[in-house]
Amino acid sequence: MSLVGQAPVVFLQYLAALAIVEGVQTYDHGYQRIPVRLKWPNDIFASNPADPSGKTFVKIGGILVNSHYSSSEYLSVVGVGLNTTNASPTTSLNALNPPTPFTLEKLLARVLTCFSTLYERFVRTGFDKYFEDLYYKHWLHTEQIVTLEAEGGTRARLKGITTDWGLLKAEELGWEDRPTGRILTLQSDSNSFDFFKGLIKRKV
């Protein structure tokens, strides 16, 4: 099944991230509250078990998509790393107090099933409102204020991602963090996001 014009290949990283979180939280009965979230553009974060407040997060996985265009089609390899059983260097899924420990085989099957379902819909509809709602349900950045290094240190409030090319949308803030009305868009492959510092900078 190939991607159509309304379903650009850049969204594969978002589909993979959604498949991981959905796969974890639909692993079995009682897993829907496992605290895993999405960090833009392609990381999986989990609630830090060392913080009883549940307000801090640590990286638990990541996604890398390599694509090239050949003979009128995109060929993509989606690589996923997810810390399931090893609590080092941050934490693991099994440290998040699941009803019973995750097994690699069952988790892999669940993630792949979720990815297949999401992908089949995506090539028909693109990143429609269904995907928007699902993505924002899981992401970490609702209304987060960040500093945009490439814009001279401008402060901005994150508003989401565009549904055409998957760009990060940020609303410029002025005096006393009041919106200026200017909306900035950032490419995922040109920028890196330091979640803890609230800093978005260009990749070197």
- pLDDT tens-digit readout, 110-148: 999 999 999 999 989 999 999 999 999 999 998 999 999
Residues with Cβ within 8 Å of 184's Cβ and at least 6 positions away in sequence, in order, are 148, 151, 154, 156, 169, 170, 171, 172
pTM of the complete model beyond 0.85:
yes
Cis, peptide link before residue 89, omega less than 30° from 0? yes
Round the average pLDDT of the chain to a whole number and report it: 90
Cβ–Cβ < 8 Å for 45, 39: yes
